[in-house]
Structure 1
Amino acid sequence: GLSRIVESLARATGLRAEELVSSLYVHHGIDAVRHVFRVAAGLESMVAGEPQILGQLRDAYQRASDVDSAGKMLHELMQHALRVGKRAHAETGIDKAPRSLVSTALDLVEGAPKRYLIVGAGAMGALATAELGRRGVTDITMVNRSDRPGVFPISDLSLLLQDADVVVAATASVEPVLTVEMVRAAARPLTIVDLALPRDVEAGVGALPGIRLIDIEHLTAVLPDHSAELHEVERIVDGEVDAYGGWLRGNEIAPTVAALRTKADDVVAAELRRLSQRRPELTEDQRGEVAHALHRVVQRLLHEPTVRVRQLAAQPGGEAYTQMVRDLFDLNPQLSAVAEIPEVRA
């Protein structure tokens, strides 16, 4: 249950469970669906539209799939969430927000610095590098935790700080990569722009002599207004939540439809046995033709009603149709049917 999840998070972060609880929240049912879709669309980030969030969600889903810990419902939910995220970025201008963040942060850098150090080669680091290039900056050095061509390893960070004028930090690290000790040892004035969540810069760095810190909280107060783009993304999320809710309701009637077809097959089988007893002179071919005809009649009779009841069940309040079918045909569907799990679609 929830306690096991908290314990797992505590082990992963090194924090006590009591410390984590105050920062956690729980959603149930369609509210949980809405939250996942909002995360995928970038609406739950401190910087709306932050490009790394969708990739992180995809990676988490892939890891769960790799160890077979994602069941049918989670597969469908996450695949739908990834589609929502793609729609948000493709159909709206929400991508402007992160670019505005980088541009605004660089606008706040004072003086005429020449040497920039980018910490992190992810999406935000790439945006910062591109924006600096657009502004004519040529002295740009990048460090990253993983090896990349033309990028210095993170182990060189302390040394590189000694030659930088401005540091732009934008890693996906869960721990600060710029510590008080490291920045103090650089022994030079620095402007540090922290674009990371969680923060890349250790608390206390901004209080060091000669250090000017620009972080997300500072930037959100001066960012351009993107309310129109956010409203459009909210509209997409609302529509996709409704669509997923319809899928959920339609999925709930599937065992009932299966039970109805099973009951019809049982009736046909019983009548065929009765026919064999009453007309033993029928040949095997004749009995086969009768069986085929009966099955075709039953399937044709059930086809349109089952299609229609699936459509009705997918609508708000559709649970009533599911129950009505169960009551009419005295069905007791097995609700724990095993379903085939689709492959991950990135």
Structure 2
Amino acid sequence: MNIIVVGLSHKTAGVEIREKVAFAPTQMAKPLNAVVSLPDITEAVIVSTCNRVEIYATTRDIAGGMARLKRFLADYHNFPLETLEKHLYSYYGVDATRHVFRVASSLDSMVVGEPQILGQIKTSYGYAAEYKSSGLILNRFLHKAFSVAKRVRTETKIASSAVSVAFAAVELAKKIFGELSDKTVLLIGAGEMCELAAKHFINVGVRGVMVTNRTYERAEKLAEEFAAKPIHFEDLFDQLHKADIILSSTGAPHFIIGGKDVEEVIRRRRQKAMFFIDIAVPRDIDPKVNDVENAYLYTVDDLNGVVASNLEQRKIEAAKAEAIVEQEIGQFFKWLSSLEVTPTIVALRSKFDEIRKAELAKTISGWKDLPPDGQKKLEALTNAMMNKLLHPPTSVLKNPEQGNRTDLYIDALRNLFDLETAAPEQDGMMELEE
């Protein structure tokens, strides 16, 4: 049984393609049932996010299974296969395992180290479990992917440093103030960057958020989204003293906050520190603000420097994470190969033992002067011979270094000795370390 992956991501397809083959997360029963109804597809999990759509499946027919999954994606979404196919990638075996472990560990994400993808895969697996499209192999496979991702986050610092300007702003604020739970944030502007910053500041637990914009309705809209307080732009300097952290990102052609303005605000705050983050181009805040005592000003260039440094650090940590993934691939394949190896070995021994016992019974039945302990000795002799004969093929099958040749040996043994093997029970199989 082979694990296969067919899908596309931000690396192979633009959003205009990805959105056409996306699956609604609350309506997964129909597509999951359709996939496992395909010929030779026994298990399936569908992962659909804003940046990727992937199907993880098990099959004995690798090439056929991949072709059927590609056709399914095209047909299900009424999308021409010849157009879709050039955006698709497909993996099987070790490559499929490596790909999914890397995806779960956020090594394949647009922003390496982001935590969202692991939760998204867990949600996708939850739907597969609910609708019974996953089984023994994908259950173990996905749980192993989750444990790999946990190892990566525990043993590396891949997610510990900010790699977006908005998040870098929050990290700098934490360095200046330490605890942010008693701080108020003022956002000047209501664009995408301010929205991202609002999310990050709220996630770290600031006391409150205020929003102002030249168009008050836009300030109201953003404020409503984050339970913040909207402020009329003309009231900015009446409210500025209430903010500990000010992030400005407007399209103004000139400075909207000057050094003298901040001197007055700091006096009004009785010298309590203020942190200004100017990510506008052209700049919103006069550089002279940095000369004001207890005022700290960072520009987009300062933040970009932090981001660049952190990206380099993440590359180092990503290399460590890749090594963890490679280690875990070997563990998983040791278990996966046991699904085929163990029942084959059991069937082979049973076949030989059945023949041994039958021939021994015939020999003993015609042996009139057999000594009292003769049957016991013959039993031991034939059993020892059988064990010696079966030791070499058993050792070869159990050797993980055989790689893909193990499948050839299993098929050869089954054909040569006409073996019938039953599907293994999960509890009886080799356990993986979690």
Q: TM-score, normalised by structure 1?
A: 0.57
Is residue 115–residue 139 contact of structure 1 (8 Å, CA) maintained in 2?
no
Q: TM-score, normalised by structure 2?
A: 0.47
Is residue 268–residue 294 contact of structure 1 (8 Å, CA) maintained in 2?
no
Is residue 113 from structure 1 mapped to residue 186 from structure 2 by the alignment? yes
Q: Which amino acid aligns with 2:151?
A: R
Cα-to-partner distance string for 1:311-342 (whole Å, 9 max, x where unaligned): 42x11457269739957x943444x6312246
Is residue 308 from structure 1 mapped to residue 381 from structure 2 by the alignment? no
Mean CA deviation greater in 57-66 or 81-90? 57-66
Is residue 50–residue 95 contact of structure 1 (8 Å, CA) maintained in 2?
yes
Give the superposed CA RMSD.
Answer: 5.3
Shift of 1:232: 0.5
Structure 2 residues without counterparts, runs of 5 or longer: 1-64, 174-184, 211-216, 234-249, 252-278, 282-302
Structure 1 residues without counterparts, runs of 5 or longer: 142-158, 169-185, 190-205
Distance 1:74 1:233 in 2: 22
Instruction: Give secondary structure in 1 for the equivalent of 2:91.
Output: coil
Is residue 51 from structure 1 mapped to residue 118 from structure 2 by the alignment? no
Structure 1 residues 104 and 38, CA gap change in structure 2 (3 angstroms): same
Shift of 1:89: 0.9
Structure 1 residues 23 and 315, CA gap change in structure 2 (3 angstroms): same
Shift of 1:254: 3.0
Number of the residue aligned with 2:220? 162
Number of the residue aligned with 1:129? 202
Is residue 236 from structure 1 mapped to residue 300 from structure 2 by the alignment? no
Is residue 42 from structure 1 mapped to residue 106 from structure 2 by the alignment? yes
Instruction: Give secondary structure in 2 for the equivalent of 1:48.
Output: coil
Number of the residue aligned with 1:94? 158
Is residue 74 from structure 1 mapped to residue 74 from structure 2 by the alignment? no
Distance 1:295 1:38 in 2: 51
Structure 1 residues 63 and 125, CA gap change in structure 2 (3 angstroms): farther
Larger Rg: 2
Is residue 139 from structure 1 mapped to residue 217 from structure 2 by the alignment? no
Seq. identity, %: 27
Cα-to-partner distance string for 1:201-256 (whole Å, 9 max, x where unaligned): xxxxx99xxxx999xxx989944221111110011112222333444445443343
Instruction: Give secondary structure in 1 for the equivalent of 2:423.
Output: coil
Number of the residue aligned with 1:179? none
Q: If each structure's strand is expressed as a fraction of its own residues, which one has the higher value?
A: 2
Q: Which has the higher contact order (CA 8 A, sep 6+)?
A: 1
Q: Which amino acid aligns with 1:308?
A: S
Shift of 1:261: 0.5
Distance 1:281 1:140 in 2: 100
